[in-house]
Structure 1
Amino acid sequence: MMQFEVAPHRMALINVDIQNVFVEMAANSLEVVGRINRLAAACRSLGMPVIHVRHAHPAGADTGLLGELFPSVRDGMLERTSQTAAFHESLIIERKDQRLEKPHFGAFHDTDLLERLEQLGADTIIITGIETNVCCETTAREAMVRDVRAFFISDATTTGGVPGLSVEAVQRASLATVGALFAQVTTTDQMIEWLLEANAATA
């Protein structure tokens, strides 16, 4: 099991795709967003950056293979001004929080996330969001190959599942894969406890 250092001054919280269309399709999504908000509040209290990422495209943009495979994307589901692509109203976004648009599943590919983290002096991220096995897991994989350490929050991620498998099975398999190879998997409560303990130790 991975065991990364918890150092709030070198960390950032990355909330992935808390958007209307995904919140509506994922299991227990409002409970998950509640945990994300609680974790974000703890991070802000320690001076950690909070970055809200969403999957969105400009109007008329070429959505490539994603649009070929998913006609709803081609037809504007993720167009940046659409209601479906908007951040869900239950997600608390503070004035100092950052927002980031991504054109693909992962938060790093074809975005400036890595540059933002470098500017913030952050070499470790905390990943929450929707969907566990797609955009969240892809973000963890992308972080690993960029030498960015990641904590992956098991109860602050959720999924709508995949055909032929239960949501629970998909969630369990994704967390097992991520935890074995790409990130340290933990819970919201444990992450907050570690952050507060680390901050107290340096006070």
Structure 2
Amino acid sequence: MKEEYFTEDFILKVREKYFRPRKWEKVKSFKKAAVLAIDLQKYFLVPKSPAYLPSSQALIFRLEEFYGKINALGIPIIFTRHSHKEGIMVWWWGSGMHREDPLNEILDNFKPFAKIIIEKNTYNAFYRTKLEELLRKLGIETVIVTGVMTHLCCETTAREAFVRGFNVVFPVDGTITQNRFFHEATLRNLSHGFAVTPLLEEVLEWLSLG
């Protein structure tokens, strides 16, 4: 079930429930960070698409502002772009996401920030891509996960980043999915064993302090 759930009340509620200050204090000393912008494609973010997420406009507004400030701080933003034509993704979903489809382009709002784009074909942005190599080359210690969808590509990538030894920040207002239940389930799980879950504005405050 899809719903437009991404309200200020929802965001503050889940932040209060799942943010763990002690874990945040541990992560904050690792300031060599990069932002992952997962699958911010028209396929998920424009109303004419069959995969449109009803909370898209609220996320777009937040991330445009966030990426602009992150860009000004000189922190790398690494975009991923998803496509698949065969294999288990097609078997599971019943259709492909073809790279040539215009809906698979990065949303125009985010193109000014999309200087680095990693192509992927499954939920995990590290699987058979150059993402880890790039992060290691940049000396990154912490990844900040944003994008779509919270409980699929964002969550899978966050878990994999942790397994590979990166600190993971997963802002409660940095991703969206189809409904509040999927979103909250991800935060419940990740905050227990994989990631800290502050607000985007708290991430900016941390990174702005130098």
| Matching residue of 1:14 | 36
Give 1:7 shift.
Answer: 4.6
Give me the TM-score of the superposition, normalised by structure 1: 0.84
RMSD: 1.6
Q: Provide the rounded CA distance (Å) in 1 between the counterparts of 2:176 and 2:82.
A: 16
Q: 2:191 aligns with which of 165, 176, 179?
A: 179
| Matching residue of 1:107 | 125
| Matching residue of 2:65 | 38
Q: Contact 1:6/1:194 (CA < 8 Å) preserved in 2?
A: no
- Runs ≥4 residues deviating over 3 A: none
Q: Provide the rounded CA distance (Å) in 1 between the counterparts of 2:54 and 2:67.
A: 21
How far does the alpha carbon of each residue in 1:160-194 deviate from its partner, in whole angstroms, 9 at most, with x for none?
1xxxxxx1122111111111111111111111111
Q: Contact 2:71/2:113 (CA < 8 Å) preserved in 1?
A: no
| Matching residue of 2:87 | 64
Q: Provide the rounded CA distance (Å) in 2 between the counterparts of 1:65 and 1:189.
A: 37
Q: Contact 1:12/1:125 (CA < 8 Å) preserved in 2?
A: yes
The one-letter code sitting in structure 2 at the alignment partner of 1:21 is Y
The one-letter code sitting in structure 1 at the alignment partner of 2:155 is E
Q: Provide the rounded CA distance (Å) in 2 between the counterparts of 1:42 and 1:169.
A: 30
Matched, 1:195 2:180: no
Q: Percent identity?
A: 29
How far does the alpha carbon of each residue in 1:9-60 deviate from its partner, in whole angstroms, 9 at most, with x for none?
x110100011112224223212212212222122222211111111124xxx
| Matching residue of 1:55 | 82
- Structure 2 matches for 1:66-105, cutoff 5 A? 66-73=89-96, 78-94=97-113, 97-105=115-123
Q: Provide the rounded CA distance (Å) in 1 between the counterparts of 2:149 and 2:94.
A: 19
Structure 2 gaps of 5+ residues are 1-19, 47-51
The one-letter code sitting in structure 2 at the alignment partner of 1:146 is R
More strand by share: 1
Give 1:94 shift.
Answer: 3.3
Q: 1:169 aligns with which of 181, 184, 187?
A: 181
| Matching residue of 1:164 | none
Q: Provide the rounded CA distance (Å) in 2 between the counterparts of 1:6 and 1:106.
A: 26
How far does the alpha carbon of each residue in 1:96-138 deviate from its partner, in whole angstroms, 9 at most, with x for none?
x211111110111111100000111112110001100001000
| Matching residue of 1:163 | none
